[in-house]
């Protein structure tokens, strides 16, 4: 396995909103407008990354928390997932860690881990409030061919029919 530059990873905490949901953690990144869902293993690793704890200690902490299949490779994979999701602080220029050749498939195959023991960080792009509010409300002027659409349940119709010029409104 390729060695990494950072042996004491630190979880990013600025500009994040964190919410525990059952055994997963949902993190909203207010800078990138992304929601990241961490499964139990990835969430546990992220919570331990304080910048002072070594990888071997992190895997030991995971085993103490009930993740009995946690090895250093599982921690490295979790760190890769967390780094891709931009949830680890960077050290100067470049990345927090140097990617290893650990993969989910290899962990499942060679170590015989169950899928639940493999860390996962799923990223979902979330629209900003301005992007989500771009529909036209009731009685707004609209264009049936160009411009923003009418809000749900409304249609851009000609309210001046049969007269010319047509006047389109969301109704």
pLDDT along the chain (171 residues), means of 10: 63 94 91 91 94 93 89 88 90 47 63 64 76 81 87 90 87 92
Q: H/E/C letters for each residue in the chain? A: CCCCCCCCCEECCCCEEEEEECCEEEEEECCCCEEEEECHHHHHHHHHCECCCCHHHHHHHHHHCCCCCCCHHHHHHHHHHHHHCCCECCCCCCCCCCCCCCCHHHHHHHCCCCHHHCCCEEEEECCCHHHHCCCECCCCECCCCCCCCECCCCCEEECCCCCCCCCEEEC
What's the pLDDT at 113? 56
What's the pLDDT at 33? 86
Residue range(s) defining the domain that contains residue 72: 16-127
Percent of the chain with pLDDT over 70: 77
What's the pLDDT at 104? 62
Please tell me whether residues 156 and 76 are part of one structural domain. no
What's the pLDDT at 132? 66
Residue 9 lies in a domain: no
Residue 5 lies in a domain: no
Residue 8 lies in a domain: no
Please tell me whether residues 94 and 169 are part of one structural domain. no
């Amino acid at each position: 396995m390729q060695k990494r530059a950072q042996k004491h990873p630190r979880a990013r905490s600025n500009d994040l909103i964190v919410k525990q949901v059952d055994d997963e953690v949902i993190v909203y990144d207010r800078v990138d407008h992304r929601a990241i869902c961490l499964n139990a293993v990835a969430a546990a690793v992220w919570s331990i990354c304080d910048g002072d704890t070594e990888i071997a200690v992190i895997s030991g902490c995971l085993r103490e928390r009930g993740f009995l299949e946690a090895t250093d490779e599982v921690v490295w994979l979790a760190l890769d997932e967390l780094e891709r999701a931009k949830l680890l602080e960077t050290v100067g220029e470049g990345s927090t860690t140097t990617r290893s050749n650990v993969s989910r498939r290899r962990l499942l195959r060679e170590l015989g881990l169950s899928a639940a023991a493999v860390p996962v960080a799923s990223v979902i792009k979330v629209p900003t409030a301005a992007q989500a509010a771009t529909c036209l409300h009731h009685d707004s002027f609209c264009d049936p061919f160009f411009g923003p659409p009418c809000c749900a349940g409304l249609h851009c119709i000609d309210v001046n029919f049969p007269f010319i010029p047509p006047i389109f409104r969301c109704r």
